[in-house]
Amino acid sequence: MNLDAMKQANGPEACKTPRIRLLAVLAILGVATALLVWRAVDIQVLRREFLQEQGDARHLRVVAMPAHRGMITDRNGEPLAISTPVDSVWANPRELLAARAQWPRLTRLLHLDATTLQRHLAKRVDREFIYLKRAVSPELARQVVALAVPGVSLQREYRRYYPAGEVAAHVLGFTNVDDRGQEGIELAYEEWLRGVPGSKRVIKDNLKRIVENVEGVTEPVPGKDLALSIDRRLQYLAYRELKATIQGSGAKAGSVVMLDVGTGEILAMANYPSFNSNNRVKLRGEAYRNRAVTDVFEPGSTIKPFTIAAALEVGKYRPHTMIDTTPGFYKVGRHVVRDIHNYGVLDVSTVLQKSSNIGATKMALAMEPQQLWSIFSRVGLGSSTHSGFPGEMAGLLSSYKSWREIDRATLAYGYGVSVTPLQLAQAYRVLADNGQMKPVSFVRTDATPVGEQVMSPEVAAQVRAMMEAVVNEGGTGTAADVLGYRVGGKTGTVHKSEMGGYAENRYLALFAGVAPISHPRLVTVVMIDEPAGGEYYGGQIAAPVFGRVMAGALRLLDIAPDDVQSLRTQLVEGTAGAPPTIVNPAPAPPSPRLEPAKPYIKHVSAGGL
Ligand code: 59J
């Protein structure tokens, strides 16, 4: 049979079937191809962006890189606040929820409550990141990694550490858990200290391991270091003496401020009560106020050197001009100004040495109100020092135009004006620096700032000489004495003001002074709030703190003694076999007991005798 015969044999029917089948196959292939092409176009072209995003969202991550916060050091580079790297434990809520079986070990390790955690995670399933525990110890971090709970990872962060703890807590302030400044220098210099966090985009695999750094890496910019004016050694010294005296006298609180005379830098600023900046859980508002700049008080007799400076400046008085303070009280209008003793006739110098309110009153009433106001305001009393410290108070000095006669009198011995300890120190610095006013500073200044002459050098020197007499025999401040150095200052004992009057038996004990007198280098102010142990006079409570702090500081700073005579006497007296070494003197002997004063208020409010 030939081919034709075969065709014939199958007939026209047999020929049709394969053709349809072929067409059908071709059609199916064609449609399938079209679908594939369409799908390819859809995925590659039309939905490309969306799909890319979805993919990235699953594996591409932007990882923040926290910046290192600048270190705060003391003036000699000793660290006061350091950011140390720590790990925080975080979780992907969805993944952790799915790993319930592994929770018991995790919650036990991190001291978490499973029910709370469940609720916490459930509320945040849409997030990628939640913290479980921040700033954990390296040991705990290791244990967390070892557990390998799905969805739980560590993140590198920084945490502030304050090596000086409670000693410098108020000045430094602190940062929050995000390492942002909240108080004190940490807050004031936030911009300077804080760095700029960086970020990088990375691809992570399903196990959250970084497989590739992709793009856009911005390096974190670390914050800048800051050198404070504080000298850590002097800060320790001031804090130690302040704390001992407050605890020993049952006082409520207190502050010590020490300034460098040449530069206006704050060398020490201590407050008590204090707090541990590394562990603030039990923190009370009471404890974290930097009272030396945020609290104002009436300076009482510590203002008298300025009253006397005004009197000398005006020219009606000289250091030896005589003033009659008999019989120990003096009527001003309906009011009476009192001294605690009848001191009789005194010269100006002795008015300061004995702290006669009547002497100060008579000098003030002999000048124009504006003249007294002017000197107070020139040395900065009652106005902010503009130190830049958060929460600094300005205090108050009212306008002389509103002063009545009694106001002029009480202002002369420190009532009716209010100041901060820092302000008082700044004012005393003017006396120490031959009448130059300079700004105070919390940061180290490498150049000596130029001052403004606000008082004549002669007047400043005369007042300094009178302040030395306060510390010498016969003065109210002998406990401020420092062996080997000539020091000068002024005591103050102030009835605390309360609700329009003065508290009968609540006092501030004050001492402000300078050393060495022959070439002043340091100014220190001591304020003790409400001594409760029976003794409460500035001369008994504040002056000894001043003496001990100054003694230590003068030696630590290697300042040459200017009272070699007293050193010799001490050596001769102390040569009973002992080698002639000079040691820090024991705490100054208690000053002669003062007889308890009569309650003051009765006389003031009695409306005159
Ligand atoms: C004083 C005052 C209160 C307010 C008086 C302190 C006034 C006054 C009304 C009696 C205790 C006291 C405006 S005294 O600081 O004069 O430091 O070593 O509180 O006078 O008028 O039982 N200081 N202190 N006065 N008020 N108003 C002396 C003096 C001072 C000493 C002692 C003893 C007061 C020498 C104070 C000290 O220099």
DSSP result, 8-28:
HHHHHHHHHHHHHHHHHHHHH
Which DSSP letter does residue 303 get?
G
Q: Residue 58 pLDDT > 90, yes or no?
A: no
Written in H, E and C, the secondary structure of 173-235 is CCECCCCCECCHHHHHCHHHHCCECEEEEEEECCCCCEEEEEEEEECCECCCCEEECCCHHHH
Asked if the peptide bond before residue 138 counts as cis, ω within 30 degrees of 0, the response is no
Lowest mean pLDDT: which of 6-15, 57-66, 324-333, 464-473? 6-15
pLDDT of residue 215: 67
pTM reported for the whole predicted model: 0.83
Q: Among 406, 494, 609, which residue has the most ligand 1 atoms within 8 Å of its CB, making it the best to mutate?
A: 494
Contact 139, 185 (CB under 8 A): no
Q: Residue 607 pLDDT > 70, yes or no?
A: no
pLDDT of residue 177: 85
- Closest ligand 1 atom to 494 CA: 19
Average pLDDT for 345-366: 98
pLDDT of residue 593: 41
Residue 600's pLDDT band, with cuts at 50, 70 and 90, is: very low
pLDDT of residue 571: 75
Alpha carbon 223 to its chain's center: 19
For ligand 1, whether the C-beta of 245 sits within 6 Å is no
CA distance 529 to 297: 10
324 beta partners: 345
Q: Residue 603 pLDDT > 80, yes or no?
A: no
Average pLDDT for 490-496: 97
User: In CATH terms, is domain 64-227 a member of 3.40.50.2300?
Assistant: no
pLDDT of residue 436: 98
pLDDT of residue 209: 64
Lowest mean pLDDT: which of 40-54, 385-399, 431-445, 586-600? 586-600
Question: Under DSSP, is residue 302 helix (H, G, I), strand (E, B) or coil?
Answer: helix
- In one-letter notation, the amino acid at residue 423 is Q
Better-predicted residue by pLDDT, 530 or 129: 530
pLDDT of residue 8: 53
Q: Residue 245 pLDDT > 50, yes or no?
A: yes
For ligand 1, whether the C-beta of 471 sits within 6 Å is no
Dist. CA 592 → ligand 1 center (Å): 17
Non-local CB neighbours of 475 within 8 Å, separated by 6+ positions: 353, 354, 469
Average pLDDT for 88-108: 92
Q: Residue 1 pLDDT > 80, yes or no?
A: no
**Catalytic-role residue among 153, 301, 355, 387:** 301
Q: Which of 55-64, 79-88, 116-125, 436-445 has the highest mean pLDDT?
A: 436-445
Tokens read off for 439: 């700004």
Q: Among 335, 355, 405, which residue has the most ligand 1 atoms within 8 Å of its CB, making it the best to mutate?
A: 355
pLDDT of residue 57: 64
301 is catalytic: yes
Tokens read off for 598: 């009569």
Average pLDDT for 410-429: 98
pLDDT of residue 317: 97
Among 3.40.710.10, 1.10.10.10, 3.40.50.1700, 3.40.630.30, name the CATH number for the domain at 232-274+290-445+464-570. Answer: 3.40.710.10
Domain with CATH 3.40.710.10 in the chain: 232-274+290-445+464-570
CA distance 115 to 266: 52
Domain with CATH 3.90.1310.10 in the chain: 64-227
